[in-house]
Amino acid sequence: MSEHQETQAAYKIEVRNVSFDYEDKKTKFAALRSVDLKIREGEFICILGASGCGKSTLLSLLAGLHKPSAGEILLDGRHVKGPGTDRAVVFQQYSLFPWLTVKGNVLFGIRQSGRKLGRAQRMELAESYVESVGLSGAKDRYPSQLSGGMKQRVAVARALALESDVLLMDEPFGAIDPRLRLELQELVSKLCAEHKKTVVFITHDVDEAILLADRIVVMEPGRIRSILKVRLPHPRVREELAGTEEYEKLHRQLISAFYDQVEEEIDAEVAL
Ligand code: ADP
Ligand code: MG
The per-residue pLDDT of the chain, averaged, comes to 91
Question: Which atom of ligand 1 is closest in space to residue 58's alpha carbon?
Answer: 6
pLDDT tens-digit series, residues 109-141: 999 999 899 999 999 999 999 999 999 999 999
pLDDT above 80: residue 44: yes
Evaluate if residue 189 carries a pLDDT over 50. Answer: yes
Pairing type for strands 13-23 and 28-39 reads: antiparallel
What was the pLDDT predicted at 235? 84
Ligand 2 centroid, distance to 5 Cα (angstroms): 36
Ligand 1 site: residues with CB under 6 angstroms?
22, 29, 31, 49, 51-57
Vertex 254 angle, CA 251 and 259, to 5° = 120
Residue with CA closest to ligand 1 atom 13:
52
User: CA 213, CA 220: separation in Å to the nearest integer?
Assistant: 18
Nearest CA to ligand 1 atom 27: 22
216 alpha-carbon distance from chain centroid: 12
pTM for this structure? 0.92
Give the pLDDT score at 1.
47
- Of the bound ligands, which one is closest to the alpha carbon of residue 223? 1
Distance 170 CA to ligand 1 centre (A): 13
Residue 85 near residue 112, CB atoms below 8 Å: yes
For ligand 1, atom 25, name the residue with the nearest CA.
22
* 263 pLDDT more than 80: no
Cα–Cα dist 21/4, whole Å: 38
